[in-house]
A and B are shown apart, each in its own frame.
Chain A
Amino acid sequence: MRLIILEDAGVVADWAARFVLQRITQFAPGPGRHFVLGLPTGGTPLGMYRRLIDFYKEGRLSFKYVTTFNMDEYVGLPRDHPESYHYYMWNEFFKHVDIDPGNAHVLDGNAADLVAECRRFEDLIAAAGGVHLFIGGIGPDGHIAFNEPGSSLVSRTRVKTLAYDTLEANKRFFGNDISKVPRQALTVGVGTVMDAKEVMILITGVHKSLALAKAVEEGVNHMWTVSAFQQHAQALFVCDEDATLELRVKTVKYFKALSEEHQKMIEGVPVDEQRVIH
């Protein structure tokens, strides 16, 4: 695992976007050779999307041969509801770039058969040849996608009932009325993300610092599902200074000392070799 500690959320956004740019560019996607990207929603990745849109507008990056899979979606929320992840992805990313609509996959929380929808999503990922890079954010309780505390660490895409804390935290988006917050969501499983060749987790802000500490310093634990990525061969955590507040000084110093080397490696070494040069 690598931990990249950067100054603030803005720098994290820029760094993550440049990382995606590099990954896609080196892969050299083309007809019949798509780069497959897993995507999150939420406040943390917003800055990254904006930078990616800039890269597209500057002509440095195209999504024409990129296939995307989003992590999750609420159940029963209209697609054009401002809190739906379809709405988020369309407004914050898809409509600004040249991605082919047929290649942008978001779980359909309004599908008649939700179980079949989850299976279809897993099949689509398999048919695309697996995910090259899965990007994720985490919740303050260390959940990745909607894999809330206690989720199986080998789980696959499924219907998940949301924790009361999550409803409580989200009610501000639904007129402060907890009864309006969807109680279920479709989400990729921890296992689904684990299958990606590479995983990048973005963590910013003080309120995520305990989760980062649990993810990095303690053992693999289903109560902090993001800790599962300790067992991933190519996992990268990118955080800001604020998110390190609950880490031990020793941990921060250790990763900061390595950081320069890691960053050089990420920039200079071809992606294929990065798997063997750590």
Chain B
Amino acid sequence: MKPKSGLTRFHNCYILRDSKIIKEDLWIRDGKIENPEQVFYVEQLQADLTVNCEGLLIAPGFIDIQINGGWGVDFSYDSDNVKEGVRKVAKELLAHGVTSFCPTMVTSDVEKYHKILPLIKKAEGGKHGATVLGVHLEGPFINIAKKGAHMEEYIRTPDKGLQTIEEVYGSLDNVVIITLAPELPGATAAIKELTDLGIKVALGHSTASLAEGEKGVECGANLITHLFNAMLPFHHRDPGLVGLLASTTKNQVFYGIISDGIHTHPAALRIASRTNPEGLVLVSDAVASQGLADGNYRIGPQLVTVEDGRAYVTGTKVLCGSTAALDACVATFKQSLDCSIEYALEAASLHPAKALGVDNKKGKLNFGFDADFVILNPENFKIASTWIAGECVFECDKK
């Protein structure tokens, strides 16, 4: 018997590498993507296990940096069983090709932050669920004029910069992104202090002018939260936050886009992606009713009716937020934009990885990267299986 090499080889597949789909095998070992040429010549080993992918495409796992909940769970509300809620969503996301995500909390009262935040810990993914990269805090340091669905009574200004922020949130250990409005008093200092701590700052729910937005970017912000939504509409004399896509700031600005076919018009998607193709990050911004079957539900304080997969406030035609998971967003995006498959997939993997600064180990199928990937049908983006750290964590029924 030969010694076990620990290598798995995926063959009869196409892979997305360096922004191109190529006919190539994928080799993995110990949760990482391997260089088979090196293995062949230097280690002189063969794969223990060979997986026939039947001509499907292997793409980096999806990374959702803005997701409020799903399957009845609301990360901002259910403070009694937070861990259980995160676990449930993490597990359900696997079927949608999501291998990493940022549970997102909307504007809440101080007590909720102190109760919930310590319980959503960064965690490696696996069969139990997708990797938790850290929490995305959307609010309460936002502009009341652009509050959207956020609760006005909890909205605050970061007067004393980081000090106020820590007073409101408590420990920032589990936090990776904070969405705030750069025009608020104290916001500029807060952006500097937060980004010095390694936390990414996203600009959003804001009436910022372009100059205020650029100031935010100069101070370290590198994201815009759900572009077009909850910000000033594009104006040619002052293009506002939307203008950041074409402004001359030194660093790449990334921007989240909800591509569920409802929140952003296809023409607006095209304007954004043509202006700043590298910065586009697909987000689901999904709410608790994501993934629920048709019926009536109580989600947080609200009664919700799900009809044909869309969630309405019961008795009305008011949409409660996005109910599309990231895989569906990728498919809608590809269709709306008529872009390449490569671009649509990277907008949900490489781009968010870059925005979070984890593109040295996630978002690509390059050698040495985490073996987080999806095997899917490139025609319809249907997920055949999902893999985290080289382990199969979801497999579609082959019926």
Asked whether, in the complex, the Cβ of B41 is within 8 Å of the Cβ of A101, the reply is yes
Let me know if A95 is at the binding interface, CB within 8 A: yes
Let me know if A214 is at the binding interface, CB within 8 A: no
Report Cα–Cα, A87/B38, bound state, in Å: 10
Let me know if B46 is at the binding interface, CB within 8 A: yes
Report Cα–Cα, A102/B25, bound state, in Å: 20
Nearest Cβ in chain A — how far from B213, in angstroms? Answer: 42
Nearest Cβ in chain B — how far from A30, in angstroms? Answer: 17
A90 to B, closest residue via Cβ:
B37
Let me know if A100 is at the binding interface, CB within 8 A: yes
Asked whether, in the complex, the Cβ of A95 is within 8 Å of the Cβ of B41, the reply is no
Asked whether, in the complex, the Cβ of B40 is within 8 Å of the Cβ of A79, the reply is no
Let me know if A80 is at the binding interface, CB within 8 A: yes
Let me know if B302 is at the binding interface, CB within 8 A: no
Report Cα–Cα, A80/B41, bound state, in Å: 11
Asked whether, in the complex, the Cβ of B37 is within 8 Å of the Cβ of A104, the reply is no
Let me know if B44 is at the binding interface, CB within 8 A: yes
Chain B interface size, as a band, is 10 to 19
Report Cα–Cα, A104/B39, bound state, in Å: 13
Which residues of chain A in 165-213 are interfacial with respect to chain B, using CB atoms and an 8 Å cutoff? Answer: none
Let me know if A132 is at the binding interface, CB within 8 A: no
A106 to B, closest residue via Cβ:
B41
Let me know if A34 is at the binding interface, CB within 8 A: no
Which residues of chain A in 82-125 are interfacial with respect to chain B, using CB atoms and an 8 Å cutoff? Answer: 86-87, 90-91, 94-95, 100-102, 104, 106
Chain A interface size, as a band, is 10 to 19
Asked whether, in the complex, the Cβ of B44 is within 8 Å of the Cβ of A79, the reply is no
Let me know if B45 is at the binding interface, CB within 8 A: yes
Nearest Cβ in chain A — how far from B75, in angstroms? Answer: 44
Choice from A79, A100, A102 contacting B37 with Cβ under 8 Å: A79
In the complex, what residues of B have CB within 8 A of residue A94's CB? 40
Let me know if B240 is at the binding interface, CB within 8 A: no
**Contact A79-B36, Cβ < 8 Å, known A95-B25, A101-B46:** no
B 22-58 binary contact with A (CB < 8 Å = 1; else 0): 0001000000000111111101111000000000000
Choice from A86, A91, A100 contacting B41 with Cβ under 8 Å: A86
Report Cα–Cα, A153/B182, bound state, in Å: 78
In the complex, what residues of A have CB within 8 A of residue B45's CB? 101
Nearest Cβ in chain A — how far from B70, in angstroms? Answer: 41
In the complex, what residues of A have CB within 8 A of residue B41's CB? 79, 86, 90, 101, 106
Report Cα–Cα, A4/B342, bound state, in Å: 47
Asked whether, in the complex, the Cβ of A101 is within 8 Å of the Cβ of B37, the reply is no
Asked whether, in the complex, the Cβ of A101 is within 8 Å of the Cβ of B25, the reply is no
Nearest Cβ in chain B — how far from A232, in angstroms? Answer: 31
Query: Known pairs A79-B41, A101-B45, A106-B41. 13 more at Cβ < 8 A?
Result: A80-B35, A90-B37, A91-B37, A95-B36, A95-B37, A95-B40, A100-B46, A101-B39, A101-B40, A101-B41, A101-B44, A101-B46, A104-B40
Chosen A-B contacts, 20 in total, with CB atoms closer than 8 Å, are A79-B37, A79-B38, A80-B35, A80-B38, A86-B41, A87-B37, A90-B40, A91-B37, A94-B40, A95-B36, A95-B37, A95-B40, A100-B44, A100-B46, A101-B40, A101-B41, A101-B43, A101-B45, A101-B46, A106-B41
